[in-house]
């Protein structure tokens, strides 16, 4: 067991930071290597150029569950990386397919900006095979949303109380269902908090997150995926051995309790929600929901709004059944599936998250 008294003292007093030369330490903590894909290099092959943007798509737990195969001169096959799954929180891979849909939409938008049109065939070999085949042909048009791809980031911060104007509500209404009524917002807020706590208190779902935590620069650069934590205080605790995975699994540890309180404050600071639902829940519906999600993200980026998925109540495991049912009762027509629930509002500038470089995602790079 970690030395709890020492951990407490450090969490409370910042003793370690004082001892390690704070200013110099803070200045060097950005994991530049892990963030390099946000400055895509020019590629002669339009498919690689579009794919270098596609890898920036939002995806659950930043697993980046995509692999691509370049075929001939103009075709891309998109595969799901079966080594990158979330068996506890996404047992049916629904969220992974949403991420893959966002990847496809980003690729299509980036190709359009370079004058290429992309013909997409979903699931060309049926459900067990590749996710999609994409054929690039010349003649695409740039969609203004493509200008936002490099600026789009999930905004996991507290939002201000500022509400959207009626005009903005109506514009965004083309991209998602929006929740604005104060009573409805309050109900969803409580739901997201309860669901988050269930995920934290269910050991196997918590473990899935803990195993994916990358704390501090060295861990993030070594594995540019998962749940990155850049906070220098946490990095210091990690480096000194005081914040190991066993401590992170102890939900009653004061550090974890403080984290939960802080996260509830963020969840509380939410003026609106956006919701994406589908009438059915096939793989195609999930891919389409991901494409819609990407467009919603880009539109909110263009409008200066923050967007933050809060997916816990939508997850399909037994401990979440009651919240899942309530989420569907509140947010969808009977029989429909809520694919995404997102906080929406005005917040501080969000930061970029790590990505594996494109080359590591191409199965047959020449």
Ligand X SMILES: Cc1cc2nc3c(=O)[nH]c(=O)nc-3n(C[C@H](O)[C@H](O)[C@H](O)COP(=O)(O)O)c2cc1C
Residue with the two structure tokens 């269930």: 198
- CB-nearest residue to ligand X: 58
CB atoms within 10 A of CB 147: 14
Q: Which is nearer to ligand X, 117 or 157 (CB)?
A: 157
- Pick between residue 76 and residue 98 the one whose CB is nearest to ligand X: 98
Closest contact distance (angstroms) between CB of 128 and ligand X is 21
Closer of 148 and 353 to ligand X (Cβ): 353
Q: How far apart are CA 181 and CA 311, in angstroms?
A: 21
User: Could you list the residues that contact ligand X (CB under 6 A)?
Assistant: 58-60, 62, 95, 98-99, 102, 153-154, 156, 309-312, 353
The distance of closest approach from Cβ of residue 73 to ligand X in the complex, given in angstroms and rounded to an integer, is 30
Q: Return d(Cα 74, Cα 214) in angstroms, integer.
A: 37
CB within 8 Å of 113: residues ≥ 6 apart: 140, 142, 143, 146, 147
Enter the DSSP assignment of 362. B
CB of 225 to ligand X, least distance (A): 9
Output 70 or 361, the one with its CB closest to ligand X: 361
3-class SS shares of the chain: helix, strand, coil, % to 5 = 50, 15, 35
- How far apart are CB 62 and ligand X at their closest, in Å? 3
| Closer by beta carbon to ligand X, 113 or else 195 | 195
Q: Quote the least distance from Cβ 135 to ligand X, whole Å.
A: 25
């Amino acid at each position: 067991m970690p030395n709890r008294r020492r951990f407490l003292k450090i969490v409370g007093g910042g003793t370690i930071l004082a001892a390690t030369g704070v200013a110099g330490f803070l200045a060097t903590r950005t994991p530049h290597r892990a963030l390099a894909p946000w400055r895509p290099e020019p590629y002669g092959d339009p498919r690689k150029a579009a794919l270098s943007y596609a890898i920036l798509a939002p995806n659950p737990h930043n697993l980046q569950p995509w692999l691509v195969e370049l075929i001939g001169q103009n075709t891309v096959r998109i595969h799901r990386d079966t080594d990158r799954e979330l068996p506890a929180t996404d047992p049916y891979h629904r969220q992974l397919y949403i991420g893959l849909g966002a990847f496809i939409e980003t690729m299509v938008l980036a190709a359009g900006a370079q004058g290429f049109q992309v013909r997409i065939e979903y699931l060309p070999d049926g459900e067990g095979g590749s996710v999609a085949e994409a054929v690039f042909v010349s003649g695409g048009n740039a969609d203004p949303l493509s200008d936002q791809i490099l600026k789009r980031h999930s905004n996991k911060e507290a939002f201000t109380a500022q509400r959207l104007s009626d005009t903005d509500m109506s514009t965004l209404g083309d991209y998602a269902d929006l929740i604005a009524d104060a009573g409805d917002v309050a109900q969803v807020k409580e739901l997201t908090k309860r669901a988050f706590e269930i995920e934290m208190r269910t050991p196997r779902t918590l473990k899935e997150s803990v195993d994916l935590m990358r704390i501090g620069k060295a861990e993030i650069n070594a594995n540019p995926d998962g749940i990155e934590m850049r906070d220098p205080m946490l990095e210091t605790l990690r480096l000194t051995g005081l914040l190991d995975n066993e401590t992170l699994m102890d939900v009653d540890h004061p550090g974890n309790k403080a984290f939960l309180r802080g996260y509830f404050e963020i969840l509380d600071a939410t003026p609106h929600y956006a919701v994406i639902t589908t009438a059915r829940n096939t793989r195609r519906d999930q891919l389409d929901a991901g494409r819609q999600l990407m467009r919603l993200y880009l539109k909110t980026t263009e409008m200066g709004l923050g967007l933050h998925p809060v997916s816990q109540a939508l997850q399909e495991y037994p401990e979440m059944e009651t919240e899942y049912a309530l989420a569907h009762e509140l947010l969808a027509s009977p029989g429909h599936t809520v694919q995404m629930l997102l906080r929406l509002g005005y917040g501080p500038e969000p930061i970029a998250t790590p990505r594996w470089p494109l080359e590591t995602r191409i199965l047959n790079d020449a």
